[in-house]
Structure 1
Amino acid sequence: MSFPWAKEYTPAHPFMKWMDERLPIPRLVYNAVGGGYEVPRNLNYFWNFGFLAGLCLVIQIVTGIVMAMHYAANSAVAFDTIEMTVRDVNWGWLMRYAHANGASAFFVVIYVHIFRGFYFGSYKAPREMVWLLGVVIFLLMMATAFMGYVLPWGQMSFWGAKVITGLFSAIPLVGEPLQQWLLGGFAPDNAALNRFFSLHYLLPFVILGVVILHIWALHIPGSSNPTGVEVKSESDTVPFYPYYVAKDGWAIGVFAILYCAFVFFAPNYFGHPDNYIPANPMSTPAHIVPEWYFWPFYAILRAFTQNFFFIPAKLMGVLAMFGAILVWFFLPWLDKSPIRSASYRPVYKAFFVVLCLDMLVLFYCGGAEAKEPYVMISQIAAMYYFAHFLIILPIVSAIEKPKPLPYSITEAVLGKDDAARLEPSA
């Protein structure tokens, strides 16, 4: 966001002047992440997770490119090429474990980033487009992660592909042809592996493109902040560099410690034991389960066990699973409260805590076996999940009486300042 008090880029070195006149990349960087980009002064550490998400994406692209150099998308040798990369390629083990654990790290960061948006109302005007592009990024991540999970061609990879693509067969009329088109046949095999590998390699670059749009859309209204109050004067902001660059640097240090702890000391912690067994179409695992970051949506899928009139339970489960994410697209219009931050919305804040607990229940049930009492608990948790967004949120936003907001960001940080009230608004 361009404020009147933001510093202008003025190159001093002759080469930088020449470059700025012909290809203003330095100016672009300065205005995007340098001293020319002003941000609210009260951002807390939850705002570091956007930067960490970008770092995770870079890690996944770099390690994925290296892994692709040694991978063969052939059902006869795919499992062996992964093992060969780990055992025989110089630093191959590091690339493999950094990529596998990087996916989990990416989703941890993104889930925190999304729920920060829920709490602080980051989806509200004028940042609707920032939010919508963020949901698109999450959907692309889910697709990329699923296809990546198939590539090792272990038992869970094969049967996960068979189960998940089998969901498309629930769609009336076009379901089975669509499933066969996705797999390139009637069951996961060479054709499916080649298709999934191609898309898994391509989609991260698509994600990168949408991330650029996401950042571009963010820079138009500027960053949101914990109070939800818009910037009113120069005292409300500080330059992104050096203040938040240093803060992001500290967050990167903490992230790197945790990330490296898993990569070096527990590299297989998030992996399923059955996926270290070569795929066998003749042997079905006792408990087919996707990666942990799919568990809440997998629990919603399995929550539908009975047909509803003429609608098969399988179809309702598929619609609910996708609807659980698609409902996020409508949040800017479902939540009609003029107050953004839940810190000033006590009723919504209480329901937000319940939503977080509900998600934890869905996470647990998604990883548990499909039997009682987990199925019943999943049904209750799934009902509350949709009720929160479609019923509770609109009603609460209409009837809730929020707490008084501070006059400005400066007042929220430093207390009341009568001089600040006299400054002209931007």
Structure 2
Amino acid sequence: MSFAWAKPYQPKTELGRWVDDRMPLPRLVYNAVGGGYPVPRNLNYGWNFGVLSGIFLTIQIVTGIVLAMHYYASADGAFNSIEHIMRDVNAGWMLRYAHANGASFFFIVVYIHIFRGLYYGSYKAPRELVWMLGLVIYLLMMATAFMGYVLPWGQMSYWGAQVITGFFSAFPVVGEPIRVWLLGGYAPDQAALTRFFSLHYLLPFVIAGVVILHIWSLHIPGSNNPTGVDVKTEKDTLPFHPFYTAKDGWFAGAFLTLYAAVLFFAPNALGHPDNYIPANPLATPAHIVPEWYFWPFYAILRAFTVDFILPAKLWGVVAMFASILLLFFLPWLDRSPVRSGAYRPVFKRFFWLLMVDIAILGFCGVMPAEQPYVAISQIAAAYYFAHFLIILPLVSKFERPLPLPNSISESVLHGEKEESAPYGLDKSAPAAAQ
């Protein structure tokens, strides 16, 4: 998104001009996140979680690189190398807990980021590709998190690898060969641990590359906003810097304070105690559960208990993958011309029902595979698919949205006029160009 009123980049020093002529990296950064990038002026705090996702990705990469220097990818030594990091490496305990809890916080901010996109219709034209690239990032995160969970080689690590890779064996003919190929054998062992460690180290850099594409694709149509109304004039925007860098900065500080509180005072709250027991292929845990951010999908997987044409296990695996892949088709399932849920009263109610439904699936995912949790997960899984495949298309067709504001500035100013330039900016120049 580029506008005539956006201030062009002008190096202020001779060195800056010399660098800009030969490698315009400062210009690129300025146009991406500086005063050269106009942003809708009505963004609320829901838009802070994109920046927070980048911060936690950086934390994961930095802490992961340092931990890899001390980790020993061996079925005989992996568990002991984690204990070595925790007890003998300088600040090793903090690095390990920062990495483990950073994964959970990374998923927290990404989930909020996704739910904000669902509510405000950020998946609609012309931002379909932005949405899809975001989902690709999410899928890569899930793969990275699963392989990282295997690396401590505790009881949950081992049996989690056994269960997750066992999903592929549900597919006829090709399933079992794929599972053996993934593990490098018939059960999790040295080969599986080595390749999972390699991929776990590599994928965050792939995620960083897709994040760059995600941001690049966002800058073409520009950011969505809580009204869903397109930018029309310079009064609708503000420069990203300093207005949104300040807003993102203090919010990131507040959120990182919460992260630090968990890191220093409850570092094991989001983990599983069985993973502090060395992996034992001969002792199956009484209740195998994945990390909390997989619980809703685990509940969908276990919701299928009856063979119908195909085995129940295969139905569960297909449904689990379909629950994520379904989100790629949202731009075409929701045909309403109004983006924002704030102006869609019926959609808003069903959106919050979906949030409750996902919370119920998460609860069932962590509970044992027994009644009544299986029955509840079956009802919740059915509603999840009904929401996207039946309810959302019908709502978008028959709903009567509320009247939209004529512009973003109208929704912000409520009919008032700007009597002075904001924040002391020169009134003779457009606000977004200074």
Q: TM-score, normalised by structure 1?
A: 0.97
Look up the equivalent residue of 2:270 and give its one-letter code. Answer: F
Look up the equivalent residue of 2:389 and give its one-letter code. Answer: L
1:406 paired residue number:
405
2:330 paired residue number:
331
Distance 1:370 1:119 in 2: 32
1:319-374 residue CA offsets vs partner (Å, 9 max, x unmatched): 00000100000000100000000010000000001000001101111111111100
> What are the equivalent positions in structure 2 for 1:296-307 lying under 5 Å apart?
296-307=296-307
Cα offset, 1:12, TM superposition = 1.4
1:61 paired residue number:
61
Distance 1:375 1:322 in 2: 19
Cα offset, 1:416, TM superposition = 2.6
1:82 paired residue number:
82
1:285 paired residue number:
285
Distance 1:335 1:263 in 2: 40
1:100-145 residue CA offsets vs partner (Å, 9 max, x unmatched): 0000000000000000000000000000000000000000000000
Distance 2:316 2:206 in 1: 28
- Tell me the secondary structure at the aligned position of residue 227 of structure 2: coil
> What are the equivalent positions in structure 2 for 1:9-408 lying under 5 Å apart?
9-309=9-309, 311-408=310-407
Distance 1:247 1:418 in 2: 24
Look up the equivalent residue of 2:48 and give its one-letter code. Answer: N
Cα offset, 1:253, TM superposition = 1.1
Distance 1:60 1:215 in 2: 19
1:264-312 residue CA offsets vs partner (Å, 9 max, x unmatched): 1111111101000000000000000000000000000000000112x00
- Tell me the secondary structure at the aligned position of residue 113 of structure 1: helix
Distance 2:176 2:19 in 1: 56
- Tell me the secondary structure at the aligned position of residue 235 of structure 2: helix
Distance 1:27 1:392 in 2: 46
Distance 2:276 2:183 in 1: 23
- Tell me the secondary structure at the aligned position of residue 238 of structure 2: strand
Cα offset, 1:418, TM superposition = 8.7
Identity %: 71
Distance 1:416 1:392 in 2: 36
- Tell me the secondary structure at the aligned position of residue 19 of structure 2: helix
| Equivalenced residues, count | 420
Distance 1:347 1:318 in 2: 32
Look up the equivalent residue of 1:366 and give its one-letter code. Answer: G
1:14-35 residue CA offsets vs partner (Å, 9 max, x unmatched): 0000000000011001001110
Distance 1:400 1:416 in 2: 27
Look up the equivalent residue of 1:319 and give its one-letter code. Answer: V
Distance 2:226 2:8 in 1: 27
1:379-401 residue CA offsets vs partner (Å, 9 max, x unmatched): 00000000000110011001101
Distance 2:256 2:199 in 1: 28
Cα offset, 1:44, TM superposition = 0.2
Distance 2:66 2:105 in 1: 19
1:142-168 residue CA offsets vs partner (Å, 9 max, x unmatched): 000000000000000000000110110
Q: Provide structure 1 residue ranges, at least 5 long, that are not aligned to the other structure.
A: none
- Tell me the secondary structure at the aligned position of residue 39 of structure 1: strand
Distance 1:86 1:220 in 2: 45
Distance 2:365 2:7 in 1: 50
Distance 1:254 1:307 in 2: 50
Distance 1:394 1:254 in 2: 38
Distance 2:269 2:67 in 1: 20
Look up the equivalent residue of 1:77 and give its one-letter code. Answer: G
Q: TM-score, normalised by structure 2?
A: 0.96
Look up the equivalent residue of 1:153 and give its one-letter code. Answer: W
- Tell me the secondary structure at the aligned position of residue 111 of structure 2: helix
Look up the equivalent residue of 1:326 and give its one-letter code. Answer: L
